[in-house]
Chain A
Amino acid sequence: MAVKEKNILNRLYFIAGCMFIFALAVVFKLLSIQFIQGDKYRELAEERTIKNVVIPANRGNVYSVNGNLLATSVPKYDIRIDAVTSKAKVFEENLKPLADSLSKFSGKPSSYYQKEIRKARANRNRYYLLARDIGYSDYIRIRNFPLLNLGAYKGGLIVEQTTKREHPMGGVAERTIGYERFDENGNVTRPGIDGAYGVKYLRGTDGLRLKQKIGNGQWKPIADYNQVEPKDGYDLYTTISVNIQDIAHNALLQQLEHYEAEHGCVVVMEVATGEIRAISNLGRTKNGSYYEKLNYAVGESHEPGSTFKVMALMAAMEDKLVDTSTVVDTKQGVKTFYGRKIRDSKHGGYGKISAARALEVSSNIGLATIIDEAYSKNPEKFLNRLKSWNLDKPLGLPILGEGKPVIYEPGHSKWSKNALPSMSYGYNLKLTPLQTLTFYNAIANNGVMVKPTFIKEVRELNKQIETFDKTVINNKICSDKTIKEMQEMLKNVVVRGTGKSLYTPYFSMAGKTGTAQTEYWMDDWDDNKRYVSSFAGYFPAENPKYSCIVIIHKPSIEKGYYGADVSGPVFKRIAQKIFTDTPIIDEVETLEVKHVAVEKEFDSYYKTAQTYKTIMPNVVGLPLMDALALLENMGLKVKFQGVGIVKSQSLDKGLKIKKNQTVVIEAS
Chain B
Amino acid sequence: MKTVFKNIKGDRLIWAIAALLAIFSFLPVYSAASNLAYVGDSGNTFAFFLKHLMHLFLGFTIMYGVHKIPYRYFRGLSIVLIPVVLVLLVITMLQGTTIEGANASRWIQIPLVNMSFQTSTFAFVVLMVFVARYMSKIKDTEITFKESILPLWVPVFLVLILILPANFSTAAIMFVMVLMLVFLGGYPVKYLAVIVGTGILALTFFVLIAKAFPDAMPNRVDTWMSRIESFSDDGDTEADYQIEKAKIAIATGGIQGVGPGKSIQKNFLPQSSSDFIYAIIVEEYGLLGGLTLMVFYLWLLFRIVIVSQKADTIFGKLLVLGVGLPIVFQALINMAVAVELFPVTGQTLPLISSGGTSIWMTCLALGIILSVSAKREEIKEQEDKEDNPLEILSEAI
Task: Point out residues on A near B: beta carbons under 8 Å.
Answer: 1-5, 7-9, 11-12, 15-16, 19-20, 22-23, 25-27, 29-31, 33-34, 37-42, 44-45, 48-49, 212-216
Known pairs A8-B185, A27-B294, A214-B35; A34 contacts B332 (CB<8 A): no
Give the nearest-CB partner of B287 in chain A: A34
Alpha-carbon separation in the docked complex, A78 to B290 (Å): 50
B53 lies within 8 A of chain A by Cβ: no
In chain B, what residue has the closest Cβ to A9? B309
Can you add 12 more A-B contacts, CB < 8 Å, to A2-B142, A23-B332?
A: A2-B139, A8-B318, A19-B332, A25-B336, A25-B341, A26-B294, A26-B336, A38-B251, A44-B248, A49-B264, A216-B38, A216-B39
Check if A30 sits within 8 Å of B287, measured CB to CB.
yes
A-B residue pair count with CB separations less than 8 angstroms: 131
B250→A26 contact, CB < 8 A: no
Q: Which residue, B247, B298, B340, has most C-beta atoms of chain A within 10 A?
A: B247
Q: Are B254 and A34 in contact (CB-based, < 8 A)? A: yes
B23 → chain A closest CB, angstroms: 22
Interface residues of A: mostly helix, strand, loop or mixed? helix
Is A41 within 8 A of B250, CB to CB?
yes
- A215:B139 contact, CB within 8 angstroms: no
User: Which A-chain residue is minimally distant from B336 (CB atoms)?
Assistant: A26
Quick check: which of B54-62, B207-215, B321-329, B358-366 contacts chain A, the rest being far away? B321-329
Q: For the complex, is B348 an interface residue (Cβ under 8 Å from A)? A: no
**Within the complex, which residue of B35, B141, B184, B248 is in contact with A48, where a contact is CB–CB below 8 Å?**
B248
Q: Which residue of A lies closest to B135 (CB)?
A: A3
Tell me, rounded to whole Å, the shortest Cβ–Cβ distance linking B341 to chain A.
5
Taking CB atoms, residues of chain B closer than 8 Å to A34 are 250-251, 253-255, 287
Enumerate chain B residues within 8 angstroms of A30, measured Cβ to Cβ: 250, 282, 287, 290-291, 335, 339
Q: In the A-B complex, list the 7 residue pairs whose CB atoms are closest, starting with the nearest.
A: A41-B251, A3-B186, A29-B339, A3-B139, A45-B248, A214-B267, A38-B251
Tell me whether A3 and B314 are in contact in the complex, defined as CB-CB below 8 angstroms, given that A29-B341, A45-B264, A214-B35 are known contacts.
yes
A9 to B308 Cα, complex, angstroms: 9
Chain B residues positioned under 8 Å from A15 (CB to CB): 180, 183-184, 321, 325
Smallest CB separation, B150 vs chain A (Å): 17
B267 lies within 8 A of A8 (CB): no
The answer to whether the Cβ of B271 comes within 8 Å of any Cβ in the partner chain is no
> How far is it, in angstroms, between the C-alpha of A377 and the C-alpha of B267 when the chains are bound?
90
Bound together, the chains give a CA A38 to CA B283 distance in angstroms of 12
Assuming the A-B contacts A15-B184, A30-B287, are A1 and B143 also in contact, with contact meaning beta carbons closer than 8 angstroms in the complex? yes
Q: Does B169 contact A (CB under 8 A)?
A: no
Q: List 29 A-B contacts (CB under 8 A).
A: A1-B138, A2-B139, A3-B140, A4-B186, A8-B184, A8-B318, A11-B183, A15-B325, A16-B301, A20-B298, A22-B336, A23-B332, A27-B291, A30-B250, A30-B287, A30-B290, A30-B339, A33-B251, A33-B340, A34-B287, A37-B251, A41-B248, A42-B251, A48-B248, A49-B264, A49-B268, A213-B267, A215-B39, A215-B267
Q: Is B252 an interface residue (CB 8 A)?
A: yes
A48 nearest CB neighbor, chain B only = B248
Contact A215 B328 (CB under 8 A): no
A37 to B340: give the CA distance in the assembly, Å: 13
What CA separation (Å) do A19 and B142 show in the bound complex? 29
Chain A residues closer than 8 Å to B377, beta-carbon distance:
none
CA distance A45 to B301 in the complex (A): 35
Closest Cβ of chain B to A187, distance in Å, is 38
**B: contact size bracket:** 35 or more
Residue ID in chain A nearest B270 by CB atoms: A215
Partner of A23, one of B141, B244, B294, B317: B294
With A26-B336, A34-B254, A215-B267 already in contact, the answer to whether A1 and B142 are too (CB < 8 A) is yes
Known: A29-B339, A30-B339. A41 touches B247 (CB 8 A): yes
Q: Across the interface, which residues of B come within 8 angstroms of A12, CB to CB? A: 184, 305, 308, 321
Contact A1 B298 (CB under 8 A): no
CA distance A386 to B367 in the complex (A): 110
Is B265 in contact with chain A by the CB < 8 A criterion? yes
Task: Encode B170-185 as 1/0 by CB contact (under 8 A) with A.
Answer: 0000000000100111
A498 to B329 CA separation, bound complex (whole angstroms): 109
Of the listed residues B135, B143, B264, B309, the one surrounded by the most CB atoms of chain A closer than 10 A to its CB is B264
Q: A residues within 8 A CB of B251?
A: 33-34, 37-42, 45
Interface string of B331-353 (1 = CB under 8 A from A): 01001100111000000000000
What is the distance, in angstroms, from B173's C-beta to the closest C-beta of chain A?
13
Q: Which residues on B sit within 8 Å (CB–CB) of A215?
A: 35, 38-39, 267-268
Contact indicator A23/B298 (Cβ below 8 Å): yes
State the Cβ distance, B319 to closest chain A Cβ, in Å: 12
Q: Which residues of the other chain, B, contact A42 by a CB distance below 8 angstroms?
A: 248, 251-252
- What A residues does B252 contact at CB under 8 A? 41-42, 45
B302 (CB) vs chain A CBs: closest residue: A16
Within 8 Å by CB of A16, from B247, B290, B305, lies B305
**Cα separation A15 to B177 with both chains bound (whole Å):** 11
How many angstroms between the C-alpha atoms of A346 and B380 in the bound complex? 141
Contact A11 B143, CB 8 Å, known A30-B339, A214-B35, A215-B268: no
Nearest neighbor of B304 in chain A, beta-carbon distance: A16
What chain B residues lie within 8 Å of A26 (beta carbons)?
Answer: 294, 332, 335-336, 339, 341
Docked complex: B124-148 residues within 8 A CB-CB of A: 135, 138-143
A12 to B180, CA, bound (A): 9
Q: Do residues B39 and A2 form an inter-chain contact, with CB atoms below 8 A?
A: no
**Residues of chain B from 97 to 143 with CB closer than 8 A to chain A in the complex:** 135, 138-143
Contacts of B38 in A (CB 8 A): 214-216
